[in-house]
Amino acid sequence: MCGILFSIQTKDPASGDRPNHLTNLFPRLTSAIAARGPDAQDSVQLDVAQLILTFSASELRLRGETLVTQPHRDADGNLLCWNGEIFEGLNVAPDENDGVKLLSALAGCCNAYDVSSAFGAIEGPYAFLYYHRSTNTLYFGRDPLGRRSLLVHHPDAANPYFVLSSVSAGLDPGHSLEELSTAHLFAIDLNVAAGLGDVKLQSCISSVPRDIGGKSLPFAHPSAVNRTIPNDPPKVESLDSIPPHLTVAVDELIVHLDRSVMLRVRDIPHRETAAGEARVAVFFSGGIDSTMVAFLADRRGSLFQDCRHVPPEEPIDLLNVAFENPRKLTVQVEGNVYGLPKREKKQKLRDPLDYSTVKVTYDVPDRLTGLQEVEELRRLCPHRTWNFLEINVPYEESQSARAAVEALMYPSRTVMDLSLAIALYFAARGVGQVRPHAAADAQPYTSPARVLLNGLGSDELLGGYGRHRTAFKAAGWQAVIDELQTEIDRIPTRNLGRDDRVISSWGKETRHPFLSLSLVNFLAELPVHLKMDPRLEAGLGEKLLLRLAARKLGLVEASSRKKRAMQFGSHSARMAPGEGDRKGDLMLEEK
């Protein structure tokens, strides 16, 4: 995980220094990107015609044997700010840095076609900024799924400068940020920009197609969903046996997901810490997605290498977060006050609940399923130390962190954004307690892992949401196919940029095995009836293919668990007074 910060502004003829309107903003953004990359920070400033270009970057070392400082520079004057990981498409040895290798590959590019082709050939999460000196052109963009954050401020009358940043400064008069589109890459011809002036600079930003020239590139776009309409496929009676028509698909899913996990946990550099400390953690609710990811991280990679993906002597930390939620405590003591008519609810809430009479526990749904599932992992993988990290968040602590979380997640600003972001914020911090076994006393523990695996993506790809069942009831298989295509299309615009900004504030990196483009493309190309069956009951029909795969691997309990959203499983949803009946898509009130 790294941080990118870049600006363009017209040179001030009087002083040649950065204009005053950036004076306050830049230090705040610089501090924020340093938190993402605490191992090293550097900056480069260039004068190009009448423009001042400022490149800043930070580094979190998760690739290679030696620390490499950004921005990356070569002998020809090219610069690269790189926030990403290359897992496929470019051969990066265990002792090499992928940013250095990518800059070397880009050095051979002569135009936008070459740059687009270079990025369309690599797979992994990324955001980048590349200055090609010989053509005086700036290229920037994000990966096709938007797994890394990159925000843009376009010049306006109040703030006449161009800014790209991995993070924001929250609500700030110095910028008006939006997520950079993943539909294409972007280019700025600085020779043209130099003559336009501040506010008009935006007019010289051009879009660079990911499939420029019609060339077939393996990772330029996710594949389209297979639109074959099934003709009354056989129903699966239970998860105990795999029917013949699903045998191959189940095996292929295991191979693809196993490989995706392997690529995301191997070759993580050792830090100057005690031997045997965890380098990998999993956001862990005990559901099927996070359990599959955790189980495969332990797996012996016989297909790819004769060792376990995570060395057997290292623990794997399972991050399980639970919140003290006053709304839930009110329901516990007084019943569902929030379901009463408005006048009665107001009367009930007039006098605050006396919490001294209430025993606060953290037995939220995700804690209970997590505790059950870690025991299944311990039975199946007894050689591994599984650190089930109980992260308990008192109400006062969550509210104290709220302003920081809102600034990190900006420009995301809804009630649901906050419910999800605050859960990820405390989970990624990794401070809590562990028990060597279920009956043991809890011991304080802080996870040292800097790579955090996330099960996000399986619901979108395998039909895991209730809306997929609703679509089938309304208009059959065709409607389900349409909904699955919509799911893939909107992955880049939903949660990933926000999650990246929040999690990385702790100097840690989240990786999404289900969102490997290789796995996304494999699942998109499968006929819909091999992935899910909305004719079957909940806990069986949704994500049917994944459930069968989990059962085949021995994850009996996880394979039949129903979908539960993180904000409800952890009780992070709508904790503040007055938020009990606010819809998730409403905007947060400005302070």
565/466 Cα distance (integer angstroms): 11
For residue 333, is pLDDT > 90?
no
| Strands 79-84 and 443-446, sheet pairing | unpaired
Domain 244-324+360-569 listed as CATH 3.40.50.280: no
Mean pLDDT of the chain: 91
Structure tokens at 225: 């969903």
68-96 as b/e, with b when 16 or more CB fall inside 10 Å?
bebbbbeeeebbbbbbbbbbbbbebeeeb
For residue 348, is pLDDT > 70?
no
In this prediction, residue 15 has a pLDDT band, given cuts at 50, 70 and 90, of very low
Q: How many CB atoms lie within 10 A of CB 215?
A: 12
**Residue 158 confidence (pLDDT):** 87
First to last CA, the chain: 31
* Top-level class of domain 2-214: alpha beta
| Strands 386-393 and 316-323, sheet pairing | parallel
Provide CB contacts within 8 A for 382, sequence distance 6+.
none
**Residue 304 confidence (pLDDT):** 45
Catalytic positions: 2
For residue 116, is pLDDT > 60?
yes
pTM of the model: 0.94
Comparing 77-91, 293-307, 359-373, which segment has the lowest mean pLDDT?
Answer: 293-307
| Strands 137-142 and 185-189, sheet pairing | antiparallel
Structure tokens at 390: 């109980």
Provide CB contacts within 8 A for 348, sequence distance 6+.
334, 337, 340
Rg (CA), the chain: 25
Structure tokens at 311: 């060395």
Helix (H) or strand (E) holding 2: strand 2-10
Tell me: cis bond preceding 411? Omega within 30 of 0 counts.
yes
Tell me: cis bond preceding 243? Omega within 30 of 0 counts.
no
488/524 Cα distance (integer angstroms): 9
Cβ atoms 175, 25 nearer than 8 A:
yes
4/71 Cα distance (integer angstroms): 9
Chain centroid to Cα 244, Å, comes to 35
541/248 Cα distance (integer angstroms): 18
**Residue 276 confidence (pLDDT):** 82
- Every domain of the chain and the residues it spans: 2-214, 244-324+360-569
203/407 Cα distance (integer angstroms): 29
pLDDT digits over 35-86, tens only?
999 999 999 999 988 899 999 999 999 998 889 999 999 999 999 999 999 9
Cβ atoms 163, 152 nearer than 8 A:
yes
410/574 Cα distance (integer angstroms): 18
Region 198-218: mean pLDDT is: 83
- The DSSP result for 414-482, as a single string, is BHHHHHHHHHHHHHHHTEEEE-SSTTSPPEEEE----EEE--TTHHHHHT-SHHHHHHHHHHHHHHHHH
pLDDT digits over 186-204, tens only?
999 999 998 776 767 888 8
